[in-house]
Amino acid sequence: MSDPERIRRIRELIARHKRWDMIFALVGVLALMIGVLTFVALFAEMAWTGLARLDWQFFTSFPSRRASQAGILSAWVGTSLVMLVTAFVAVPLGVASGVYLEEYARKNWITDLIEINITNLAGVPSIIYGLLALGLFVYEFGLGQSILAAGLTLALLILPVVIVATREAIRSIPQTIREGAYALGATQWQTVKDHILPYSTPGILTGVIIGMARAIGETAPIITIGALTFIAFLPRSPVEAEPPFLNFEWLMSPFTVMPIQMFNWTSRPEAAFQVNAAAAGFVLVLMTLGMNGLAIYIRYRLRKNLKW
């Protein structure tokens, strides 16, 4: 085969591969747009339906049998408190577990078994965590139908996600950073504390964002442990004006959350309650976007300040 013929065939092969690359890119963009446009259409319809219902009275009123007087005060307060407990438990425990498995644990069949189980737990249906929490937290530990039980349940739900994200973020750190720290006399803990964790924090926050976004919209495990569908009172404030300034009685208070309040309204036949449910869904999406936006901003600032 002559050189010109060989060059022609190579060019044809490259052109054919480029066409397949372009086709794959177009299919990917089409699939992405279908998902994005579906979400935008649903979100726009929900906003159009419920936007007129959003006023100060809607945010400061308790649920009511009259749609015009019903509000989401107990629901958004309960959601905020449950998410506070979830983040307080899941983030430190998940990050510590990921650091231990990646930096301290020996590589043997036990750690391999733990890795397989953590990966599998990330795909377990949420109702299973609800049944586990019902037997463990509600009955065995006697926490009852409380904010603490709900927060611990959702913490178990997102814990595998946080652990996996932490490990992946740590694995992305170049080995030369560890070697440089050890060469300068740093201990293993000093290396982890001063180098590994700061550099991996943006990746860890990504896992936390994903986990918290999943937890805030979960309904099945919360219903399983006995969350109320109608509640007309608030738990005591975690912060008080008098010493000791912190109050933990709210942890054992009954509660409801936004998804359950929406489910309660959508199950009613009156059209006005459907409007309330759309407004509550719009608020829930905004809460999720706000929480994710704050985490993304923190991640951006941390990445900007890092120096490799």
Give the residue extent of every domain in the chain: 3-51, 54-305
Is the confidence at residue 85, as pLDDT, over 90?
A: yes
Tens of pLDDT, residue by residue over 126-135, are: 888 888 888 8
- Among candidate residues 130, 65, 88, 85, the one with its CA nearest the CA of residue 235: 85
How far CA 37 is from CA of 29, 33, 93, 184, 292, in Å, comes to: 12, 6, 37, 53, 20
Whole-number pLDDT of residue 21: 84
Structure confidence at residue 154 as a pLDDT band (50, 70, 90) = very high
Structure confidence at residue 90 as a pLDDT band (50, 70, 90) = very high
Q: What would the CATH number be for the domain defined by 54-305? A: 1.10.3720.10
Is the confidence at residue 277, as pLDDT, over 80?
A: yes
Determine which of 14-18, 49-53, 173-177, 263-267 has the lowest per-residue pLDDT on average.
14-18
Dihedral angle at the C-alpha atoms of 33, 35, 36, 42, nearest 10 degrees? 130
Query: What's the mean pLDDT in 163-181?
Result: 88
Residue with tokens 């979830």: 86
Is the confidence at residue 40, as pLDDT, over 70?
A: yes
More confident residue, 136 or 8: 136
Is the confidence at residue 201, as pLDDT, over 90?
A: no
Beta bridge partners of 239: 246
CA–CA dist 283, 186 (Å, integer): 48
Structure confidence at residue 163 as a pLDDT band (50, 70, 90) = very high
Please, how many CA atoms are within 13 Å of residue 29, restricted to the half-sphere of its CB? 6
Contacts of 83 (CB under 8 A, 6+ apart): 151, 154, 212, 215, 216, 291
Structure confidence at residue 228 as a pLDDT band (50, 70, 90) = confident
Mean pLDDT of the chain: 85
Is the confidence at residue 306, as pLDDT, over 70?
A: no
CA–CA dist 40, 44 (Å, integer): 6
More confident residue, 308 or 242: 242
Is the confidence at residue 93, as pLDDT, over 90?
A: yes
Is the confidence at residue 284, as pLDDT, over 60?
A: yes
Residues constituting the chain: 308
Number of helices (H), then strands (E), in the chain: 12, 0
Is the confidence at residue 307, as pLDDT, over 70?
A: no
Query: What's the mean pLDDT in 81-92?
Result: 92
Is the confidence at residue 49, as pLDDT, over 90?
A: no
Give the rounded percent of residues in the chain with a pLDDT score beyond 70.
98
At 187, the amino acid letter reads T
More confident residue, 230 or 27: 27
Whole-number pLDDT of residue 95: 92
First-to-final CA distance of the chain:
51
Is the confidence at residue 218, as pLDDT, over 80?
A: yes
At 59, the amino acid letter reads F
Residue with tokens 């927060």: 151
Determine which of 6-10, 69-73, 116-120, 143-147 has the lowest per-residue pLDDT on average.
6-10
At 182, the amino acid letter reads Y
Is the confidence at residue 175, as pLDDT, over 90?
A: no
How far CA 242 is from CA of 77, 112, 239, 252, in Å, comes to: 22, 51, 9, 21
Tens of pLDDT, residue by residue over 233-262, are: 888 878 777 777 777 888 888 888 888 888
Under DSSP, the state recorded for 102 is I
CA–CA dist 54, 164 (Å, integer): 39
Whole-number pLDDT of residue 207: 85
CA–CA dist 262, 63 (Å, integer): 11
At 49, the amino acid letter reads T
Query: What's the mean pLDDT in 177-203?
Result: 87
Is the confidence at residue 177, as pLDDT, over 70?
A: yes
Name the token pair of 166.
Answer: 């932490």
Is the confidence at residue 308, as pLDDT, over 70?
A: no
